[in-house]
Amino acid sequence: MSVTLWNSRFSVTLVRQHATILTSTTTLAANSLYYTINSFQPQQRRNLTKIMKPANTALSDKGARRTSQQSGRNPTKNLQAGRNSLESSTSDTGVNVPPFNHPHCDRQAMYQQPVRKVKPLRGNYDYDLVVIGGGSGGLSCAKEAVAHGARVACLDFVKPTPLGTKWGVGGTCVNVGCIPKKLMHQASLLGEAVHEAAAYGWNVDDKIKPDWNKLVSSVQNHIKSVNWVTRVDLRDKKVEYINGLGSFVDPHTLSAKLKSGDRTITAQTFVIAVGGRPRYPNIPGAVEYGITSDDIFSLDHEPGKTLVVGAGYIGLECAGFLKGLGYEPTVMVRSIVLRGFDQQMANLVAAAMEERGIPFLRKTVPLSVEKQSDGRLLVKYENTETGEVDSDVFDTVLWAIGRKGLVDDLNLHNAGVMTHKDKIQVDCEETTNVPHIYAVGDIIYGKPELTPVAVLAGRLLARRLYADSELRMDYVDVATTVFTPLEYACVGLSEEDAVKTYGAEEIEVFHGYYKPTEFFIPQKSVRYCYVKAVAQRSGEQRVYGLHYMGPVAGEVIQGFAAALKSGLTIPTLMNTVGIHPTTAEEFTRLSITKRSGLDPTPASCCS
């Protein structure tokens, strides 16, 4: 649900933390197989370092760089401290093993580690590469590997939801994620635009309203066309598509459950790209009567009055387009809105939705869902602060409380692959603790769960394996957009993370409200149209993060994302001539800082 970020061949890149890589070798016995585990302990330095990044420059891990906890100068002492302090990973074999933590390091240190090279051993295995998972990351990896001469198979299988929803090849994004979400969002924006058209002189019938069944049919027809094109593309590129549920028998063997029976498949290399599925809460009636984002885009009846449980981006996006289509969504928030995002921006998003008539039940958790005799759903819920229990009746209950990695059916213990909760830990080359088994996409631990991230990571992995490339995936400063009615897009650090990393006195926040030209005539609210740049206070004033709320947010932030990754500074931003009249130009007009206390509201649009 975001945008693909290509790595420039030569760019100035900011490394916000050095790391000392300490590598130890420990032998893991699992099913009589032995694998090498690397452990590390990063230092807690946050020095500002500028380096030139060539085409194959190593790329750092955002989480490790920004959340280091230990410091010290004795390698042995640091290594032992790292083993004791980091949460243990476990192999499903039950073998006691030390914590598995590959070195997530800075760009310079990472390239001290040579890229692994895999030579296809034709004839020894059925395939050079088997990709488990037919989503965006797996497919991009499979197609790229074939383009460089590998023999590749791709396994894909979708378990139906409790409601019975299932779909074709292409993964979450195509079938129940980015694509149908954006189409529903567009439908809601069009409804809003139709009513605004009257202010621009169009004669519009006030009785205009959406047809849910027609909308769903149109969306599903498009998805099915993409499924078909994907199957044809795999066939043309000589990727063998296997519609079956794969699980490991041993480190080089899979068992695939097909409609026609079981099939045994061997491969030299595996890439796990199975992604995740929505979670259900452990309360009475949740599974029986609730739906998730896996169901909403193909729902065969109008959702009506809908309770959306969860205030992450999926929940807010669903609530937003339902409101735009004329339904009555309510958002239930357990703790905070848009966890992991800049909280000033998150609260602006919620406030903008409330202004449009979407109520929020804050500090509230569901207790049960009961189906009444009239078919409607009685939901009981509790305020976590006051303990007060209340209830309301809804037509639809949509769970958006997070996603679970699909590791359970893989029998990873047979291959010796270790997991962390419901995810798989990988190093800076997407390698698991088993050297010939890799993972990309939403299934890996601690990386952005975004389609373009999976696509690029899968493609770069295939190039390293089969095309002598040394370019690694850069998981830092990935841009993303939340497609709420008033969209929010960002790239880089949130204000909170910048303060944690560098200290409040070293951060300068430039911000401003603005008035989109297209909002003037229909007199749309401009109260929450806002931009800010989080930057270094002194020196060259490097930009650490950009945040935007307004129309077409993703289109606006994409270009700035490339600039930020190339070393954008505040002076450069201020000396860039904007395109007028656009909303994107507001970044070039930023001059007021939060520290100054001046009013960031503009007086005019053209001076």
- As annotated, the active-site residues are 580
Pairing outcome for strands 480-482 and 377-383: unpaired
Pairing outcome for strands 377-383 and 364-371: antiparallel
Task: Find out whether 292 and 161 touch, Cβ atoms under 8 Å.
Answer: yes
Q: What is the DSSP secondary structure assignment for residue 283, as one 8-state letter? A: S
What is d(CA 20, CA 103) in angstroms, rounded to the nearest whole number?
A: 9
For residue 486, how far is the Cα from the chain centroid?
Answer: 20
State the DSSP H helix or E strand holding residue 513, giving kind and residue range, or none if neither.
strand 507-513
- Exposure of 270 by Cβ count < 10 A (0-12 exposed, 13-18 middle, 19+ buried)? buried
Amino acid letter, 71 = S
Question: Among 102, 101, 95, 103, which residue's Cα sits nearest to residue 28?
Answer: 95
Reduce the secondary structure of 165-223 to three states and give it as a string.
Answer: CCCCCCHHHHHHCHHHHHHHHHHHHHHHHHHHHHHHCCCCCCCCCCCHHHHHHHHHHHH
568-602: b or e for each residue (b if 16 or more CB lie within 10 Å)? bbbebbeeeeeeeeebbebbbbbebbbeeeeebeb
Q: What are phi and psi of 367, to 5 degrees?
A: -110, -35
Amino acid letter, 15 = V
Residue with tokens 């800082």: 593
Task: Find out whether 491 and 553 touch, Cβ atoms under 8 Å.
Answer: no
Task: Find out whether 190 and 218 touch, Cβ atoms under 8 Å.
Answer: no
- Find the radius of gyration of the CA atoms of the chain: 25
**By three-state DSSP, how is residue 433 classified?**
coil
Instruction: Pull the structure tokens for residue 293.
Output: 């984002």
Instruction: Pull the structure tokens for residue 233.
Output: 């593309």
Reduce the secondary structure of 254-273 to three states and give it as a string.
Answer: EEEEECCEEEEEEEEEEEEC
Instruction: Report CA-CA distances (Å) from 40 to 37, 88, 110.
Output: 10, 13, 12
Question: Among 557, 505, 499, which residue's Cα sits nearest to residue 531?
Answer: 557
State the DSSP H helix or E strand holding residue 347, giving kind and residue range, or none if neither.
helix 343-355
Instruction: Pull the structure tokens for residue 287.
Output: 């599974």
Reduce the secondary structure of 86-122 to three states and give it as a string.
Answer: CCCCECCCCCCCCCCCCCCCCHHHHCCCCCCCCCCCE
Q: In sequence order, what are the residues at sequence separation of 6 or more whose Cβ sits closer than 8 angstroms to the Cβ of residue 237?
A: 143, 146, 147
Q: What is the DSSP secondary structure assignment for residue 334, as one 8-state letter? A: S
Pairing outcome for strands 396-399 and 291-292: parallel
State the DSSP H helix or E strand holding residue 553, giving kind and residue range, or none if neither.
helix 553-565
Residue with tokens 């909170």: 496
